[in-house]
Structure 1
Amino acid sequence: MSMLPGPLAVAGPTEQIREAGIAPDEVNQMTLAGKHPGVRQRLWGLEARLDPTVTYEEFTYWAKVEREMEEEENQRYKSLTAGQGFMGTIKNYFNLNPYEDAKANASPPALAATAWNGNEKAPAVAGDEAGTSPISPSVTHDFDAEWRQAARALRTAGWGGVFYLITTDILGWGQTPYVFANDGYGLGVGIFLLMGIAAAVSGWMIWKTFVSLDSSRFPIVSYGDPFFRLYGPWARHFINFTQAIQVFLSVAVVLLGQTSIIAQLAGSVNLCYTVCGVIGLVVSMASGYMRSLKHLGWFCNMAVWINIISFIIICVAAAKYGPDPTSAVEYGILPKSWATNPVPVKTFVGTPPALYQQTDSDLFAAQFNGINSMVYAYSGAVLFVSFLSEMRRPMDFWKAVFTAQLFITVVYIFFGAFCYNYYGQYSYVTITQVVKPESLQVLSNVLSLITGWLAVFLYFNVGMKIIYLEVGQELLGLPPITTKRGKVTWWSFGPIYWIVAFVVAMSIPEFEAFTNFVGGLFSLNFTYSFSGMMFLGLIIQEGARLPGEGFDPSTGETTRFDSGLKRWVRGYKKAWRMSVPVTIFTGAGLAASGMGTWAAILALEAAFSASGSAVTSWTCVNPYYTG
């Protein structure tokens, strides 16, 4: 059933219709006095998304309206821009608001019936197929038209741009040879395929949940918002707290990796290792002052091409020159004598023996260290909600996520197996640091720095937004980020965030194990476990609906016949064909997280206990000094 208004129903005058001729202020006064019989006035928008009085049924009602309006706008956009040719299509794609631009350039007849105003019938109420409940025209004008136009102006990304964002963030192809070095060819290929399929399923579940709950009236802007609407405030607070830590540690991981690359680039001059970290920090801070993902469209496009160039360089160098073993030996548990007198490269179909492992002599733990790196490479799902919240047509997200997952899975397997064949046990987690000769290593490291700083910005952007919106604005009363005061406050708090992340990064001496720890404890759960929990809540809520229940937009009231555990059990049983597989999927994610975190902790212990195997980051000793 369509949720959009149809032709005006023939009906006798009602109190709502009589209000058509009065001023909006009078309607608001009547509402406050409890005399207004029409639509209950609400605070809509970013602040209203956390209104505890809004029910699940109301969220889903307006989400259905939003999706139909988006589809109608898309069809009108296609009709207005038809016949412009290939270049016209490309130009319209990069417009910030293509539909509004098309309307502005269209002839007057083309604009007929493009506005939903108060002279049309309101969306159908629950149980009312004809949709005969009219809404006050003044209310419709004030909130439906003006608010939605302003809200939609903030959503500018297309699915192609989101594809670039996903591939830029998830495209951790540089870690894939390290996975094969831990697990061998057989397990490496198998797990890459399995995790790639699972990551695509996770993206699909996040997408389905988002489009079922998001609207201009009640927008979803963070990973925690769906949990608030499905489980309650406690779930949102837990997710936001966990995500803030995960994103913060991801920033620290990238900063530590950037520090190591800069140190290797400056090895010939013996630049102080701590100074290398400060250089990475300053450049990262400069990138953090862009507050919107729309600023990243061309940067992400460029990053994909940089990745392709670096990909080709490393493959050619690996096949022709072999590995530089310095990084793999200095930062792992491989015998230290191999740094100056490396043994020949050796590869394995099964799990490599302990002598050829970089992080842990316990082979079971070593396998999970490889899997952790694999999960970390797929961990961009934590940003999917943020990407969706800035899309002008979220229904297209599935195109981006499935195309991106297929692309990166193929790239991961090919690049990982190819480089492992030539680098073997020296396949370090940052593969650019293994490249020979020095000239190509320098070029690869520079390209890696550029894409790494882009990844730092993505994580910082999301992490700071979570802290600012969920803690600063909500708990501390900071000004909205869209205001001038909010921008100044954002710019003031940014350096503090960066400096704390830098201190944490420089306090970690073992890059590989630290990366695996973040991947096992946080990235794995956000990519697989939490997305399953999110979708499971949606399935149960939908399955629990009883005939006659729903949201009535004419009164603003929700009808629900029961609540509590009984309702949740009924919803789970009714939707068992979906709820049972999703439960298994979620449980598998939690189990993998537990084992992966355990393996990472063992690797950290091994790195600290092995004499001279870890370089303390707070030092001026440059491990790459060649003098």
Structure 2
Amino acid sequence: MTTAGIEPVAIPPSYDVEGEIAERPWGLSARVDPSVTFEEYIHWAKIEREQEMEANRLYVEERGPMTVSTVLKNRFSKGVHHENQKKAEAAARVTVQEEVAGSGSDDAVDEKGVIADVSAVSNPNQEEWRVAARALRTASWGTIFYLITTDILGWASTPFVFASVGYGPGVALYIIFGAAAGFSGWILWQVFLGLDSSRYPLLSFGDTYFRVYGPFARHFINVAQSLQQFMTVCVLILGNGVVISQLASEKICFIACMIIFMAVGMAFGSIRSLQRLGWLANASVWLNIVSFIIIMVAASHFGIDYEAITASTLINTIEPVKTFAGPPPDAYQQQAPGFAGQFNGINSMVYSYGGALLFIAFLAEMRHPMDFWKGMLMAQCFICFVYIFFGAFVYSFYGQYAASNIVNVVQPLALQTVSNVLALITAAIACLLYFNIGLKTVYLEIFQEILNFPTITSRKGKLLWYALGPIYWILAFLIAAAVPNLNGISGIVGALLILNFTYTFPAFLYIGYRCQIDAALPGEGFDPVTRVTVRHDSGLKRWTRGFMKNWHVNVINTIYFLGGLVCSGMGSWAAIEGLIAVFGPGGTVASSYGCASPV
């Protein structure tokens, strides 16, 4: 049969031994099934969104008005889907017992009357599976706001950005990059809604690339994601080891300081659900607010620790504080003269919005993912406001002396100590967040998929999670303690990974996603009855047709993608130049091993 002179290409289903159409596997094992087509993902995602809308309506009716008591109760519950799953399991047990009693068979029930094998009597239907599959999806959009804010917010370097580029460019660029980061979040949200379902769940950034571009792209993304999150944990261990050392007035061996932070991470690393991290993320946001209020008070009422500036920047002469509307002259640049000095500030600004890597993981744990935009929009607006307000305010008082880590120049010492304590706590919470998502990615993509480990929700999976957590922390500690100039190396990782995950990769993902959707011809699609996907063509012709249908959207995303690559290249160049200066002639190769603090 032909359509408009084009030979249709049908992707057939598989068959069981009796010649019947075989049911595809569902769940985690099926989310990267190469036999599932893009059209089938789209089909089940549409159904999932409709079911979520109805479930959310019923949830709101059952929940009733929001009060303080209901908020507290919800925070300490395991989520509505968990409760629904327990109800469904209880109903299933009653049904099975009735079926067993009617059949006169005792094989499925043990001596205590407990069902030993439900499958021996009946198979779970689609609704039972959907409830079970979504049992861990408990996060609300309010939780997402706190998680995104905890993930992204890094205000300590914002005064340095203004000191590098001035008031005007600083405000303008923070708004531009904030809008771009929000656009990336919108892209990931749209792709998630279009491809995720309980049947074929999306769990990570790599899953989106698998469904749009194939398995090789997924492996590349997963390796990059795991590396970025692991290196982030390494940097946080090293940085917080320095903070602990400063708080102890360097009376504690630096290695011991890092071990202390690592031990805290191990203790809290057993948290598997982001719903449990929601409280910590909530606390982190408010601690951040308290911390930058303290610094603003110190900046407006007390002096500057000039010794910290002269010891770590190019500024050697103490002059009156000066601020500039545009880029400051070379004499007032901290890191380098000319464009390089300004670009250091811009580089910090770009990284300030890094965090889109975790958005898919956040969405995967939401009870109602269509509400994600609320949490993301609030978080991005809040972050942008904090960056501009705090950066411009502190720059007005510190001027050219606004260092990249503003806490170092705060006076008096008491306020600096309090700020260090708060920074330690918030960094620890962020570290737990990266560890949680990072280890989940490693477990799902390597241990579960390749090594056939049990699912993370099973009893054995939980035990393995508890066992692998300390190993993850120990490896991060060993690298943080052994690699010389870890911050410089992490600068390259940030330029190659953090920036690309925030701007470049989402743009490229959306180009492929739109091309696949817009390339569809009349008569094409997935038939849930026959489980056949019909396409009338394939290859470059199909991709070209999809690109040209909404060419203006795809051209914008192509420009966005190329812009991300340019920023990544320039950031990598700056990081490499810094490493050359450190490791080249006249440089130093310092190891973090030892009792003396390396900073």
User: For this structure pair, what is the TM-score category when the shorter chain's length is used for normalisation?
Assistant: 0.7 to 0.9
Residue matched to 2:432 = 457
Contact map agreement 1:432 1:448 (CA 8 A) in 2: no
CA 1:377–1:395 in structure 2 vs 1: closer, same or farther (change >3 Å)? same
Q: Which moved more, 1:612-621 or 1:401-410?
A: 612-621
Equivalent residues in 2 for 1:549-560, closer than 5 Å: 549-560=524-535
Q: Does 1:264 align with 2:254?
A: no
After superposition, the C-alpha distances for 1:304-333 in whole angstroms (9 at most, x for unaligned) are: 111111111110011111332455444x44
CA 1:328–1:211 in structure 2 vs 1: closer, same or farther (change >3 Å)? farther
Mapped partners of 1:428, 1:444: distance in 2:
15
Residue matched to 2:442 = 467
Equivalent residues in 2 for 1:5-24, closer than 5 Å: none
Mapped partners of 2:584, 2:391: distance in 1:
29
Contact map agreement 2:82 2:136 (CA 8 A) in 1: no
Residue ranges of structure 1 left out of the alignment (5+ in a row)? 1-29, 106-138
Q: Does 1:530 align with 2:510?
A: no
Q: CA deviation at 1:96?
A: 3.8
Contact map agreement 2:331 2:337 (CA 8 A) in 1: no
Q: Does 1:310 align with 2:291?
A: yes
Q: Does 1:32 align with 2:4?
A: no
CA 1:602–1:348 in structure 2 vs 1: closer, same or farther (change >3 Å)? farther
Q: CA deviation at 1:290?
A: 1.4
Residue matched to 2:328 = 352
Residue matched to 1:299 = 280
Mapped partners of 2:310, 2:487: distance in 1:
12
Mapped partners of 1:476, 1:518: distance in 2:
28
Q: Does 1:41 align with 2:47?
A: no
Residue matched to 1:283 = 264
Residue matched to 2:314 = 334
RMSD of Structure 2 on Structure 1 (CA): 2.8
After superposition, the C-alpha distances for 1:480-536 in whole angstroms (9 at most, x for unaligned) are: 222232233223332332233223333455576455433322111000000111111
Mapped partners of 2:385, 2:342: distance in 1:
21
Residue matched to 1:176 = 158
Give the total of aligned pairs: 553
Residue matched to 1:154 = 136
Q: Does 1:428 align with 2:403?
A: yes
After superposition, the C-alpha distances for 1:313-357 in whole angstroms (9 at most, x for unaligned) are: 110011111332455444x4435x67xxx5544433333344443
Residue matched to 1:130 = none
1:563 counterpart SS class? coil
Contact map agreement 2:581 2:587 (CA 8 A) in 1: no
Q: CA deviation at 1:417?
A: 1.3
Taking only the aligned residue pairs, the percentage that are identical comes to 50
Q: CA deviation at 1:215?
A: 0.3
Mapped partners of 1:428, 1:282: distance in 2:
30
What code does the residue aligned with 1:158 have?
A: S
The one of 379, 385, 388 aligned to 1:413: 388
Q: CA deviation at 1:580?
A: 1.1
Equivalent residues in 2 for 1:155-304, closer than 5 Å: 155-267=137-249, 270-304=251-285
Q: Does 1:374 align with 2:358?
A: no
Residue matched to 2:457 = 482
Contact map agreement 1:227 1:236 (CA 8 A) in 2: yes
After superposition, the C-alpha distances for 1:150-202 in whole angstroms (9 at most, x for unaligned) are: 01111000000100101111111122112223323232222111100000000
CA 1:348–1:261 in structure 2 vs 1: closer, same or farther (change >3 Å)? farther
Equivalent residues in 2 for 1:476-515, closer than 5 Å: 476-507=451-482, 510=485, 513-514=488-489
Contact map agreement 1:57 1:558 (CA 8 A) in 2: yes
Contact map agreement 1:182 1:370 (CA 8 A) in 2: yes
Contact map agreement 2:235 2:487 (CA 8 A) in 1: no
1:478 counterpart SS class? coil
Contact map agreement 1:333 1:613 (CA 8 A) in 2: no
TM-score normalized by structure 1?
A: 0.82
Mapped partners of 2:59, 2:157: distance in 1:
42
Q: CA deviation at 1:571?
A: 0.6
Mapped partners of 1:549, 1:200: distance in 2:
33
After superposition, the C-alpha distances for 1:539-562 in whole angstroms (9 at most, x for unaligned) are: 000111010001111111111111
Mapped partners of 2:578, 2:545: distance in 1:
45
What code does the residue aligned with 1:297 have?
A: G
What code does the residue aligned with 1:47 have?
A: S
What code does the residue aligned with 1:261 have?
A: V
Mapped partners of 1:234, 1:300: distance in 2:
34
Mapped partners of 1:180, 1:524: distance in 2:
20
Mapped partners of 2:47, 2:160: distance in 1:
48
CA 1:98–1:551 in structure 2 vs 1: closer, same or farther (change >3 Å)? same
Mapped partners of 1:75, 1:253: distance in 2:
44
Q: CA deviation at 1:461?
A: 1.3
CA 1:217–1:194 in structure 2 vs 1: closer, same or farther (change >3 Å)? same
Mapped partners of 1:401, 1:160: distance in 2:
9
Q: Does 1:546 align with 2:527?
A: no
Q: CA deviation at 1:619?
A: 3.5
Contact map agreement 1:177 1:420 (CA 8 A) in 2: yes
Equivalent residues in 2 for 1:122-133, closer than 5 Å: none
1:202 counterpart SS class? helix
Q: Does 1:618 align with 2:593?
A: yes
Mapped partners of 1:64, 1:259: distance in 2:
48
Mapped partners of 1:609, 1:423: distance in 2:
33
2:158 counterpart SS class? helix
What code does the residue aligned with 2:213 have?
A: Y
What code does the residue aligned with 1:618 have?
A: Y
Mapped partners of 1:458, 1:328: distance in 2:
32
Q: CA deviation at 1:432?
A: 2.3
TM-score normalized by structure 2?
A: 0.86
Residue matched to 1:7 = none
Contact map agreement 1:365 1:600 (CA 8 A) in 2: no
1:334 counterpart SS class? coil
After superposition, the C-alpha distances for 1:4-31 in whole angstroms (9 at most, x for unaligned) are: xxxxxxxxxxxxxxxxxxxxxxxxxx96
1:475 counterpart SS class? coil
Mapped partners of 1:409, 1:316: distance in 2:
21
CA 1:354–1:517 in structure 2 vs 1: closer, same or farther (change >3 Å)? farther
2:529 counterpart SS class? coil
Mapped partners of 2:242, 2:475: distance in 1:
18
Equivalent residues in 2 for 1:50-61, closer than 5 Å: 50-61=32-43
Contact map agreement 2:161 2:349 (CA 8 A) in 1: yes
Mapped partners of 1:258, 1:326: distance in 2:
22
Mapped partners of 2:122, 2:173: distance in 1:
52
Contact map agreement 1:265 1:442 (CA 8 A) in 2: yes
